A and B are shown apart, each in its own frame.
Chain A
Amino acid sequence: MADTAQVASAASSKDPAVGLAAVRSLRVLVERLEELQVGNAREQGWTWEQIAERLGVSRQAVHKKHSRGRGPLRRRD
């Protein structure tokens, strides 16, 4: 896999279509991981304050984004 990655990287590092698609996919990946991890933290009793501190954002920001029906906590209802 590492070899494949290097080859692909060498072949396409200057192609904006590939580079931008990678950025977009990374963004999607980050969003999904964040939702998953925040949901898990909440399930384990973490406060918004604690979660925000680890994410390096404000408590208000993380609360606004992940409360109100979002995240695994609500989905399993």
Chain B
Amino acid sequence: MFERFTPEARQVVEGAQQQARELGHDRIGTEHLLLALLTRQGTTSSTVLGRHGLTRSAVATDVARFAGSELDASALTSIGVDLDAVRTSVEAAFGPGALDDQGDRRSRTGHLPFTPRAKKVLELSLREAIALKSRSITDGHLLLGLIREGEGLAATVLHDRGVDLAALRDEVRLALTP
């Protein structure tokens, strides 16, 4: 389905994979698409998102908070588990870094799969393009797809940041109208 994507939109999709990898996640979710949209400066999507006060670093912080699979040492301390002690014991037997996430190493090669919601975003971006009578799918259509999907982590982040999704959608549509 990527043949109708503009080069910029393709770069966003590839960028989403990169974002997921850097975060050590094993699937591409809506949040990685949002991060990829924000990473590319000067595009329709990043310009409109910027007007709503969204930056890559702010969203990255939110995503890490929601999606982080890291071990939360202070939370574990609250139930009497000393993560440092566990780490020390495990590393004594298996060597340094034995307790680190091995998933990110696995996911550094090959393509990561999309989550069902991220797939839905890609499908919806095609529908948005058709609705706006556009022959190609641009980064702006991807953002519209992200907004219309409305349930993934990207939508949650936007909502929690107080972004007016209806206004955002209207602005993107306006920017995409020739």
B77 proximity list for chain A (CB < 8 A): 1, 4-5, 8-9
A interface SS class: helix
Q: Are A21 and B82 interface neighbours, CB within 8 A?
A: no
Q: Are A26 and B78 interface neighbours, CB within 8 A?
A: no
Interface contact tally, CB-CB below 8 A: 72
Docked Cα-Cα span, A6 to B82, in Å, equals 11
Q: Are B79 and A9 interface neighbours, CB within 8 A?
A: yes
Docked Cα-Cα span, A8 to B80, in Å, equals 8
Of residues 1 to 34 in A, which have CB atoms within 8 Å of B's CB atoms? 1-2, 4-6, 8-9, 11-13, 18-19, 21-22, 24-26, 28-29, 32-33
Q: Are B78 and A13 interface neighbours, CB within 8 A?
A: yes
Q: Are B94 and A25 interface neighbours, CB within 8 A?
A: no
Q: Are A29 and B71 interface neighbours, CB within 8 A?
A: yes
Q: Are B101 and A19 interface neighbours, CB within 8 A?
A: no
Contact of A36 among B75, B80, B94, B105 (CB under 8 A): B94
Contact of B75 among A1, A2, A18, A70 (CB under 8 A): A18
Q: Are B90 and A12 interface neighbours, CB within 8 A?
A: no
Of residues 77 to 133 in B, which have CB atoms within 8 Å of A's CB atoms? 77-86, 90, 94, 98-102, 105-106
Q: Please, how many residues of chain A have a CB less than 8 angstroms from a CB on the other chain?
A: 28
B164 proximity list for chain A (CB < 8 A): none
Docked Cα-Cα span, A29 to B84, in Å, equals 12
Can you list 7 pairs linking A and B with CB atoms under 8 Å apart? A8-B74, A9-B78, A25-B71, A26-B81, A29-B81, A29-B86, A75-B106
A-contacting residues of B (Cβ < 8 Å)? 69-86, 90, 94, 98-102, 105-106
Q: Besides A29-B83, A29-B86, 8 other CB < 8 A contacts?
A: A1-B84, A9-B77, A12-B78, A22-B79, A25-B73, A28-B69, A33-B99, A69-B106
